[in-house]
Amino acid sequence: MGKKDSLTKVLAILGTILVWLPLLAPLVFGIVICIRSGMFRFDFLMPAELFPVVLAGAALLLWASFRARLYRRLICWALGIAIVMLVASQGVAVVTGLASGATPATGWQWVLVLTLFFIFLLALIVLAVGGALLARDLIKNSG
């Protein structure tokens, strides 16, 4: 059985918060802007812009999951897919000219980049849920 001490719990909780932060920030900022200006704006690219925060949280989650021997596969796979899809979406945007503006944001190129980015977001959500499950199980089994 893995280590389920206080350090592991703190790693899981902090990692989960750091992974959820870039997912929830666009919504929170959108609501604040809506209250101030009356117009709802949603920056769907913010999770990619804040990916270093996700990486820090994922590193803590990986450490906690390997210490506790829980949710290792889920966290590893979700992080791996997120990294691959983010790099792929950016690579396709550069290669097709979407990133530079040489190609208009329409057509199959745009759909492909958005699809890859959507898979990236889904992988981040799975990573965040995996972190929440890990933290929940660690806290539940401590009593």
Q: Supply angle C-alpha 28, 30, 32, rounded to 5.
A: 70
Measured between alpha carbons, how far is 134 from 26 in angstroms, rounded to an integer? Answer: 25
**21-68: pLDDT as tens digits:** 999 999 999 999 989 988 888 889 999 999 999 999 999 999 999 999
Q: What is the pLDDT of residue 2?
A: 67
**67-81: pLDDT as tens digits:** 999 999 999 999 999
Domains of the chain, by residue range, sit at: 6-140
**90-141: pLDDT as tens digits:** 999 999 999 888 888 888 999 999 999 999 999 999 999 999 999 999 998 7
Q: What is the pLDDT of residue 75?
A: 97
The torsion region of residue 38 among left (phi > 0), alpha (psi -120 to 50) and beta comes to left
Measured between alpha carbons, how far is 104 from 125 in angstroms, rounded to an integer? Answer: 29
